[in-house]
Amino acid sequence: MQFSRSDRNGRLLIAGAAAAIAAVMVLVLIAGFRLATEIRASVAALQGTSVLQTYPAVISQQLTALRQRLQTLEYTGHVHRELTRTVRNFNLRLAAVERRNLDPAAIRHAESLWRHYAPQLAPVLAFSGEPYDDTDTGSSLSARGRKYYDQVRQAGIFAQTSAPVLHGALAAVSAALQARTSAAAARLRTLLLAGVLAVVLLALAAAYLQLSRARQQRAAREAQDQTRDILKTVREGFFLLDADYRIGAVWSQALTHLFGRSDFKGLAFEELLRDKVPADTLATAVKYIKLLWGERARENLMKSINPLGQLEVSVDNGRGGKESRFLQFDFHRVMGPKGVKHVLCAVGDITSSVLLARELQEAQENAHSQLDMMIGMLRADPLQVSAFLDSAAAGLKHVNTIMKEPARTDAEFRKKLAGLSRELHSIKGEAAALSLMSVAERVHRLEDMVAELTAKSELTGNDFLPVVLKLDELLAHLRGVREMTARLVSLKEGPAGAGTASLPQLRIGEAREPQAERPGRSCADLGALLEQLAGKLALDHGKRFALKLTGLTEVPAGYLETVKDCAIQMLRNAAVHGIEPCEARRAAAKPEIGEVCLQFRRLDPGYELVFQDDGAGLSPEALKEAAVRKNVLTAEEAAALDNRAALALIFRPGFSTRESVSMDAGRGTGMDLVARSVYGLGGKIGVSTNPGRFTRFKITLPAAGAAAAVA
């Protein structure tokens, strides 16, 4: 930028020198033209004056010739006419010299002398006719002729005496004119010499400036070459944005690699990022760029709110596909005399740094998860963990079956997603209950992927590939948990490694059935599991409630898994949606410690599971509003629902009153899982509530034999 400004100044200096040369030449020419005009006039006057000097002698000669002809009685007409013409020409030339006003004093002296000629010449010039009388004896002067002769003689005498004086006066005029002409010529020569010297000096100055400019241009070219080399070498992308938020004519070569294009000149910043970032991110970036042009904006503060500090973009990989890169944009304002002139944008590829940071974060998370897993397993009963792993293996086997089912239409793909969501939710609930948070968090991330697929407008088989990879990771982690459990059991029961020989090798499509020598899940295990989950939920959500369990010893072995899944989900719902914080309970005149009751009992025939909490209850109107807000129902459809139908919305897949998703709620999967589990056994489920007082779920299950027939 500095070399460009110097080059521009050199151009201005050279242009100024050329203008000065032109101005000097114009002034010299104008002054020379005026002097030449003056010299020309002086020369013309000098020529006229030189001719005038001869006239007094000519007049005197003509008067003498006229007198002699009168004496010899010869013809005088042609001499008279020549005299008249000579006097007239003298008057005209003298008037011309007088008009030029070249030397007024000398001319006035000559005019005064000439005015003395007029009275002497006037009678002679005024004579007309013949001066002779003709008789028989010959010719003689007439009376008029004698008078005319006397006038000619007197004029001739005057001319002979005055001619030298008039000649001298005219010579003085001529000398003055000659002196004036010489002076003008000298001035002209001086002017021309000065003009030539000035032009030479200015030409030398222009040549010096041209040489300086040439040196500056060489320096500028060298600087440009160096700048070009820098722009070719640096790994960051550099470019300037003008006031219209468009890229200038210079940018670094790395920009081409970063964005997969080469035409940046005049490109709007918005177009640079279009189709590479989400629309909301693009809108935020454009607003940020506009803020940079504000005079009052503080650059340090603007850097702290830079929305493009880490931006993920999708660019062509050169092989017909797309790849993700992480770019870091840094902006610096370039100030000019009138404020912000440009905004310098530096773009760096931080993909490797981001990926490394993610790897480090994943390593830290894995380390933490391993630690959490060990702590959770130390707290949990290894037999319960083993039972969970068998249950999870069975659930993942079902997941594998769902994944293998052929699907071609969008509806079939979405049916797969619904089945995946229910199975994963069940596994996550029991893992959280056992404080196996490393497992729960992995399953939660899998649920996030399933939710993202569900939100897509159109599904294909390729969309499920990331889910398969995450399932493999989950299976590998579960194998680690099983191995850790086996080692803990071995440490408790005997020498290290005693239980590792029988470790299962779980893969997609395989699930290890519970070993015959290992006791299955018991009712006592279920009670302990629910107690542990209740304590964790109360701590995680800042609630206080007591869990009362009744009749779990009556649960048949065939119903144990179903009762477990239903109890876990309803307990989580009670902790998240039902039981209020202590402040709200005090304001409602309720005991600060809530109460959650689960009762299982035999019926004739069948069984009944009742789950009740004394929390906020369910509001049919709130359920209908949430259904309309989440586009589950239209406003007209919601208004047509009665209270019973409104309460049934909680069993609809994907419906939740929460706006955000957490580890324990928000996906709308839990109650759908409960309903499907109950209906799968041929049972029924009912819900009753009193807003602000309680919510009660009553599940009726058939006898074990009838359930087996239904299955």
Task: State how far the Cα of 560 lies from the Cα of 243, in Å rounded to an integer.
Answer: 70
Residues 6 or more apart from 140 whose CB is under 8 A from it? 73, 132, 133
Q: What is the mean pLDDT of residues 378-396?
A: 68
Asked if 481 and 385 touch (Cβ cutoff 8 Å), the reply is yes
Q: Is the model more confident about 510 or about 332?
A: 332
709 pLDDT band, cuts 50/70/90, is: very low
Task: List the single range of 150-154, 221-225, 270-274, 372-376 with lowest mean pLDDT.
Answer: 372-376
- Is 2.60.120.260 the CATH number for 237-353? no
Q: What is the mean pLDDT of residues 602-612?
A: 89
pLDDT of residue 510: 40
User: CB-hemisphere CA count at 13 Å for 290?
Assistant: 7
Please choose, from the candidates 178, 171, 169, the residue with its C-alpha nearest in 3D space to the C-alpha of residue 115.
169
pLDDT of residue 611: 92
Asked if 651 and 573 touch (Cβ cutoff 8 Å), the reply is no
**Which secondary-structure segment (H or E) carries 140?**
strand 138-141
pLDDT of residue 113: 78
For the cut 90, the answer to whether the pLDDT of residue 597 exceeds it is yes
Please choose, from the candidates 647, 651, 654, 648, the residue with its C-alpha nearest in 3D space to the C-alpha of residue 632.
654
Q: What is the mean pLDDT of residues 297-306?
A: 71
Please choose, from the candidates 638, 615, 612, the residue with its C-alpha nearest in 3D space to the C-alpha of residue 625.
638
For the cut 50, the answer to whether the pLDDT of residue 505 exceeds it is no
Task: List the single range of 74-83, 324-333, 382-391, 440-449 with lowest mean pLDDT.
Answer: 382-391
Task: State how far the Cα of 226 lies from the Cα of 231, in Å rounded to an integer.
Answer: 9
For the cut 60, the answer to whether the pLDDT of residue 2 exceeds it is no
Task: State how far the Cα of 662 lies from the Cα of 451, in Å rounded to an integer.
Answer: 13
Burial level of 34, CB count in 10 A (0-12/13-18/19+)? Answer: middle
CB atoms closer than 10 angstroms to residue 403: 18
> CA angle 72-76-81, nearest 5°?
155
> CA angle 163-164-170, nearest 5°?
90
Task: State how far the Cα of 418 lies from the Cα of 421, in Å rounded to an integer.
Answer: 5
Beta bridge partners of 312: 326
Please choose, from the candidates 649, 642, 644, the residue with its C-alpha nearest in 3D space to the C-alpha of residue 623.
649
Mean pLDDT, all residues of the chain: 77
For the cut 70, the answer to whether the pLDDT of residue 705 exceeds it is no
Give the model confidence (pLDDT) of 281-296 as tens digits.
Answer: 888 888 887 877 776 6
Asked if 206 and 21 touch (Cβ cutoff 8 Å), the reply is yes
Three-state secondary structure call for residue 671: helix
Give Dmax over CA atoms of the chain in angstroms: 202
For the cut 80, the answer to whether the pLDDT of residue 580 exceeds it is yes
pLDDT of residue 29: 79
For the cut 80, the answer to whether the pLDDT of residue 300 exceeds it is no
User: Hey, which CATH number is domain 521-711, 3.30.565.10, 3.40.50.880, 3.40.50.300, 3.40.190.10?
Assistant: 3.30.565.10
- DSSP, res 246: B
Task: State how far the Cα of 59 lies from the Cα of 170, in Å rounded to an integer.
Answer: 15
Q: What is the mean pLDDT of residues 34-62?
A: 78
Task: State how far the Cα of 704 lies from the Cα of 603, in Å rounded to an integer.
Answer: 12
| The residue to which tokens 């500095």 are assigned | 2
For the cut 90, the answer to whether the pLDDT of residue 356 exceeds it is no
Q: Residue 574 carries which side chain, given as an amino acid letter?
A: A
Examine residue 504 and say whether the peptide bond preceding it is cis (omega within 30 degrees of 0). Answer: no
Q: Is the model more confident about 606 or about 704?
A: 606
Asked if 326 and 258 touch (Cβ cutoff 8 Å), the reply is no
Task: State how far the Cα of 584 lies from the Cα of 412, in Å rounded to an integer.
Answer: 45
610 pLDDT band, cuts 50/70/90, is: very high
Three-state secondary structure call for residue 24: helix
**The two structure tokens encoding residue 301:** 């503060």
Q: Is the model more confident about 361 or about 698?
A: 698
Contacts of range 267-276, beta carbons closer than 8 Å, 24 or more positions apart:
268/244, 269/241, 269/245, 269/345, 270/245, 272/247, 273/311, 273/313, 276/313, 276/314, 276/315
**Which secondary-structure segment (H or E) carries 522?**
none
Burial level of 465, CB count in 10 A (0-12/13-18/19+)? Answer: exposed
- Sign of the C-alpha dihedral computed for residues 430, 433, 436 and 438 taken in this order: positive
Three-state secondary structure call for residue 53: helix
pLDDT of residue 516: 35
Q: What is the mean pLDDT of residues 497-521?
A: 40
Q: pTM above 0.85? A: no
For the cut 50, the answer to whether the pLDDT of residue 3 exceeds it is no
Encode 560-618 in three state secondary structure: HHHHHHHHHHHHHHHHHHHCCCHHHHHHCCCCCCEEEEEEEEECCCCEEEEEEECCCCC
507 pLDDT band, cuts 50/70/90, is: very low
Asked if 485 and 382 touch (Cβ cutoff 8 Å), the reply is yes
Q: CA gyration radius for the chain?
A: 61
- The rounded percent of the chain whose pLDDT value lies above 70 is 83
pLDDT of residue 496: 44
For the cut 60, the answer to whether the pLDDT of residue 499 exceeds it is no
User: CB-hemisphere CA count at 13 Å for 220?
Assistant: 16
**Which secondary-structure segment (H or E) carries 696?**
strand 694-701
Task: State how far the Cα of 181 lies from the Cα of 176, in Å rounded to an integer.
Answer: 9
Q: Give residue 234's region: left, alpha or beta (phi > 0; psi -120 to 50).
A: beta
Asked if 601 and 554 touch (Cβ cutoff 8 Å), the reply is yes
Give the model confidence (pLDDT) of 459-483 as tens digits.
Answer: 777 777 777 777 777 777 777 777 7
CB atoms closer than 10 angstroms to residue 490: 16
Q: What is the mean pLDDT of residues 678-695?
A: 88
**The two structure tokens encoding residue 325:** 């890169």
